[in-house]
Structure formats: structure tokens, C-alpha cells
Structure 1
Amino acid sequence: MESLTFHITGAQILRPEGWTDAPLGVAEGICTDVRAGRALDLAGFRVVPGIVDAHGDGFERHLARRRGAMLDMEEGVRACAGELAANGITTAMLAQFYSWEGGMRSPEFARQVIAAVAGANPCVVPDLHVQLRFETHMLGDYEAVKTLVAEAGIRHLVFNDHLPHDHLDRGKRPPRLTGTALKSGRNPEAHLALMQALHDASGDVPGAVAHLAADLRGVTLGSHDDRSAQDREFWRGVGAHLSEFPETREAAEAARAGGDAIVLGAPNVTRGGSHNGNVSAEELAHAGLCDALASDYHYPSPRRAALKLVAQGMEFGEAWALISSGPARILGFDDRGEIVPGKRADLVMLDEGGQVAACFCAGRLGFMAGPVAARLF
């Protein structure tokens, strides 16, 4: 899909130094100050950098609209790409589990998702990547994960631990065991036995994690759901310098003090708090304890969260950076996240109400509706 050549006039354009109404050119997929191609009069609109989504699993509903109904996974990825563009997301990390939990979180499903994304990427407009969410207690899979990351070109891996350790420590059946077992395709007793075996090997996990992290050079590594400063200290020590969705302010403050990046959930901001009682992302963002707001499970939320922070008094450029230049920086995307000559023309046009009116990724049209479309055509 070829990029378009055009230049924008009349709009308020968000540059790193602030708003400007100077014309912006787009040619060969990058931003330029040269007026090129046809003029697109966007008076009354704001042009902002495309959203870089550091973690989102909303794609799952496109891959399996109903449990077991995965007829063509690549078509599902294409449908997801359309939703991403309609929400101004030009770069997306699709957060896929590699987990003992089975089902849509199984290693086999992860490999299918990776293949589907690779197959769909040349045909879609947003830039899609897979973030691998690896369960730390799967000691028998460490070599397989290292190979998968290398072969698939995975650039972002996050360590997870979803074992119910408290219950397993006491020899109790975890809550909702039957439901989770059925999702995994196992009977409840077999599922419980697997969890217990993984839990019993906990003493071997820290050393294994350290060795795997050392082998994953060039991969952005993170931890998930840090609860304490000690958690963050461990992960920083093995080279996982990204704290994803810290559950407490203590963990977030420890990340900031140690120079680590902090990713928070945008839905946490839009709903005014965590759905499970964790620290408020809104509170952390206003306290400067946030580098990126991610869609988590809801693709409209990054844009809505940034605009909510602006309505609460945060400067627009600072709020929008949490969904553009901030995540681009921590994920190593040096060519995007800002409207700067020479960087990718990942652009979102917002109408007066803050809705996405158009979205371009590397100069390619991903979404356009309403008055913007009327002006172009």
C-alpha cells in the first residue's frame, strides 16, 4: 500500500514545541515542511501524532468472536487493524500470552497469533507488533521462548505470573478453578495439579528468569503488576526496565526512582480508577509517574484518557505524549511519536469534539470520515 503525497493547511498541528498553524507536508511516508502534492484544508481540526499503543489485548475478540470460533485468524487481525486506525492507533503492540493457562493463552495459540500478524501486516495500515506475555513458572519452555522471540522478531517481552500462590501455598483450591480449567481444555483436577507443580518449582524461577533475560539482548523487557519496591528492584536487576501496570504507588515510585519506564492502563484513567482496587492510573499520571498509557482491553481509551487528563488541567502536549512520544521512546521506536520533519507521517486528525476524523500511518490512509473526507473528495 503506497503512501500519499499531500500537505495540510489551516489546521492546528501539535509539534514538540507546541501548537502551530504552519503547513505540514507528507511525502514518501514521512513528515516534511515542504508543500507537496495536493492541499488538504483542515481549518477547524487539530493534527496530532499517531497513537503508539504499548499494550493491548482488544484484538482477541476479532480472533475469536465466540469461544472456539477461529475460522481465519489473519482476517481477524485485519479487522482489528481497522478498529485501531479508527481510534487513532498507528502502532500497536498486540499483547499475547504464552501461558500454562491454555486456550487462547497457550503457547500454540501464541504461535498462531504471531503467524497471523506477520501475514496480515503487509496488508494493513497500522504497524502491528506482538508483545509476548511469558509466564515465569513455565521452566520447561524457556528455550522454546528464546527461539520463538528470535525467529519471530519479537521486540517486546513482559514477564507475568498468574499463579494463585497464596491458595497453592495453603493447599487450597483456587477460586473459579472449574471455569479456568474448562477454558484451558483440562479437567479441574489436572489443572490444579499443573498449577501446584509450577508453584512448587518457584525457587528455581528467579535464576531462570535472569538467564533468559540476559539471552534476550535487544528485546525490551518488562514486568507486569509490580506490587512493591522489592518487586521492581528484582526486575530492574535482571534488565526488565519497564514496569507495566504497577498495582501500587510504592511500585511506581520505585520504578521512577530507578529510572525505569512506567506503563499504565488508559481504561483505568477513563473509568476513574482500577476495576480491581489497584492504584489509580489517573493519580499516577498527574503525579508524573507515567510514561505511557496503553489501551489494555479497550482501543478507544488512550485518546479518551489523554483528553480527560487535559480537561483536568494537564497541558495538551504533555497528555498526548503519554500515548505517542512516550510509548514510542520506551519501546525503541525512534522514527515516530512526534510530528517532526524526517519522522514517519503517523498523523491523527481530531475534530472539535476530540473524535478521530482521519488517521494516516506512514502517509497511508487508515481511516477517514465526515467533514475531512468531504474536503478530500
Structure 2
Amino acid sequence: MSLSLRLTGAEVLLPDGLARTDLNLACGHITDTAQPREVDLTGFLVLPGMVDAHGDGFEKHLAPRRGAMKNMGQGLIAAEAELAANGITTAVLAQFYSWEGGMRGPDFAERVFTGLEEVRPRLDTDLRVQLRFETPMLDDYDAMQDMVRRFEIPYVVFNDHLPHDALEKGKRPPRLTGQALRIGRNPEKHLEYMQELHARMGEVPAALAPLTRSLAAEGICMGSHDDRTSAQRADWHAMGVRIAEFPETQEAAEAARETGDGVILGAPNVVRGGSHNGNVSAIDLAAMGLCEALASDYHYPSLRRAAFLLADGGITDLAGAWSLVSAGPARLLGLTDRGTLTPGQRADLVILDATTRDICATISGGRVTHLRGAAAARFLG
């Protein structure tokens, strides 16, 4: 059941900045009608709930050890608790469909999506999915599209993680044996499969064009991953792929912006002060206005930290920084009903201690998904 409340005393982040004002919630939405039940949140900040456009931190809840998680639904319920504790009210679970197999293989993706369908009625955080498809898998194009249709997957991102340089030189890719054994595959067979995929790369562009046309016709949001050049981004744009996830260079990010495509960067890149593998700094791209959204990537707590780092560092004000984890990703995903604390929007919000900035409560669609400490005393008192 959603809350009907009037939150008073807090500093509320509105689109143009913080304001000490009442915030009313009713029927799962923000409303301008004053509600009779009051909760005094003096000493707290109330900010829009975070929208995570790409995160794979949920994986550790699904397979902490080989064979440990038999019930995907229970793992997803545990993942929801972590998301809520980090102020995330809408989360896109980035699930691979990859030649790498194991947790990244199509069979595992099928289990994840089936498990999510089973437990979704019991969840309050809005969990969505993204299918990360490896483009060299030419024989799987039809099966992938069938999966998208069956599970009504709204977002597909195209990847290519084949170690082409090593394969082109006839070398064994690094960590091949360990990777193969981890997924229960013979290392030589695994290498043979990778070599077969690499040998057919010349067929990929011609196969991608009709695939992206078909997905676009079905209203599927599409993104590219790890673009390095303006030419790559131009090719994706021509195919209707209008989101650039984690571009590795300033050139690729600028190319996306020039064509009006959205750019999603990694929040851990901001928190670390740079990419862990030497790519362009997300802080630099944000300072140049080349970022529309930050995503958790592999670490949910980084979303909140990245927004405050950008604001504290003077890259942008708090409203601008927080929009990168709320309104910005919502807009890219076509979710026009969330991202700001304005009347008519979903009641998605996060409550922080104004001094420590610790997350004390999370409300998604008017339902409490996380509550602790002094905020719990205020709500339950």
C-alpha cells in the first residue's frame, strides 16, 4: 500500500535547487494537495529517487558461488534490498547474452528473466532489464530477438568483447583456460568457438542492420557499448542506436552529442577519479557537458557518491549533478513519469541525513523500500 504523507522540515531538491518546502505524497505520486499525516524530516535532505540505467551489481546475489543460488527469484529479492539501501528506485539490470557462457550465457539470461517475472509482483523497486548482446554471435540473432519479445525487454545494448587482437594473431587470449573451466567448457573447444566467431566478423554489419531496424520498429531502446571513434558512433546512430554507454574516448562522446544521442558514463569512474582501464575520465566529460546520465556499472553505492563529488567539486550544482542519476537517465529510458519531485510524478525519493549524507530511507512509487535509524523513528514514531 502506498503512503499518504506530508513531509515537512526537510530541504527538498527541486529542479532548480534545494528549497525548504513541504512534499506531499498520495496514491504513489507527488501531489500538491496537502496530506493530513505529517512526518517531520528536519535535518534531512529529500532528493529524487535514483534511476540506474545500467548495473550488474545484482550478479553477486544470483551466483555467489557456483551452484549456490538455485532460486533466481530469491537472489533478485536480495538484489532489490541492496538497490533500495543505495537510494535506487528504478534499476536496469544489465544481463549479458554472450559467447562467454556461464552467468553471461543465454541459458543464464533465460533463468534471470524468468525469475524476475515470478517475483516482480512482490517487489516495490522498479526492476527493469537490459539485454547486453554480443554482436559476433551471428547464429543467435533470431534467438536473441525471440527472447526480447517473450520477456518484453525494453532495452538492448550491443557489445563486442571478443579479444580480436589475439585471435587475429593466432594467439591464445589471456585467461582463456580459467574462463573456460569456470563455465564448464573444454578450453580448446572454447578457443575454437571464439575463433569461429572472429572469422565471421565481416558478416556482422550486414546482419546488424536488419536486426536494429526490427528492434526499432518494436519500440526497443538501443545502445552501443564502449565506443572509441566517431565513425563507430556514426554507424550506430545510422542504425537507430541512440544511446552511447561508457564511450571510451572524448571523440566518441562528442560524436554522440553532435547527433543528439544520449551518453551514459560510469559512476565508479567519477568516484575513482578516472577509468580503471585507462579510458577517458568521466569527470572530464561531465565538465564538458558530454554526459546525460551516470550509471552504477558494477557498484551501486557509487551513484550517490558520484553525484555529490561532482557538486562538491564545482563541476555543476547539486541539482545538475543529481539530475545525472535521476532525471537524466529517466529521460534516456523514456520514463517521463519520474526523475523530479514535482506534482504528478511517481513518488520516488531518497531521504538522506543532511550532515552525513547517509541514506536513511528510500520510497519507490510511494512504498517504503528502505528505512533505518533516525528516519525510521520519524516515520514510525
Which category describes the TM-score, using the shorter chain as reference length? over 0.9
Task: Map 1:1-377 to 2 at 5 A.
Answer: 2-217=1-216, 218-313=219-314, 314-352=316-354, 353-377=356-380
In structure 2, give the amino acid aligned to 1:54: A
Distance in 2, matches of 1:169 and 1:139, equals 18
Whole-Å Cα distance in 2 between the matches of residues 364 and 37 of structure 1?
18
Q: Are the aligned partners of 1:4 and 1:363 in contact in 2 as well (CA < 8 Å)?
A: yes
Separation in structure 1 between the aligned mates of residue 116 and residue 290 of structure 2, nearest angstrom: 32
Give CA deviations for 1:21-73 in whole Å, capped at 9, x if unaligned.
22111110000111114101111111110000000000000001112322211
Distance (Å, rounded) in 2 between the aligned partners of 1:41 and 1:376: 8
1:132 CA displacement: 0.3
**Offset of 1:338 from its aligned partner?**
0.7
Q: Name the CA distance, whole Å, in 2 between partners of 1:227 and 1:303.
A: 27
CA separation in 2, counterparts of 1:68 and 1:247? 35
Deviation of 1:115 after TM superposition, in Å, equals 1.0
- SS of the counterpart of 1:216? helix
Structure-1 separation of matches of 2:47 and 2:32? 16
Letter in 2 for 1:36: Q
The percentage of counterpart residues that share the same residue type is 57
Question: Which letter maps to 2:270?
Answer: V
Asked if the contact 1:4/1:28 (under 8 Å) is kept, the reply is yes
Question: Residues 57 and 96 of structure 1 are in contact (CA less than 8 Å); yes or no, is this contact kept in structure 2?
Answer: yes
SS at match of 2:276: coil
Tell me the CA shift for residue 184 of structure 1.
Answer: 2.9
The Cα RMSD (Å) is 0.9
| 8 Å contact kept, 1:27–1:363 | yes
Q: How many Å separate the matches in 2 of 1:67 and 1:277?
A: 31
Q: Which whole-Å deviations, capped at 9, do the CAs of 1:236-267 have from their partners, x for residues lacking one? A: 11111100011111111111111111011101
- Give the distance between the partners of 1:122 and 1:268, measured in 2 at CA: 34
Q: Secondary structure at the match of 2:325?
A: coil
Q: Is the 8 A contact 1:59 1:77 kept in 2?
A: yes
SS, match of residue 6 in structure 2: strand
- 236-245 or 113-122, larger mean C-alpha shift: 113-122
1:310 is matched by which residue type in structure 2? A
**Matching residue's letter, 1:317:** A
* 8 Å contact kept, 1:134–1:157: yes
Give the letter for the 1:360 counterpart. I
Please say which of residues 117-126 and 298-307 is displaced more in the overlay.
Answer: 117-126
User: How much has 1:294 moved relative to structure 2?
Assistant: 0.4
Q: What TM-score do you get using the length of structure 2 for normalisation?
A: 0.97
* Distance across 2 between alignment mates of 1:181 and 1:125: 37
5+ residue gaps, structure 2: none
- Corresponding pairs, count: 376
TM-score normalised to structure 1 length = 0.98
Counterparts of 2:274 and 2:347 in 1: how far apart (Å)? 34
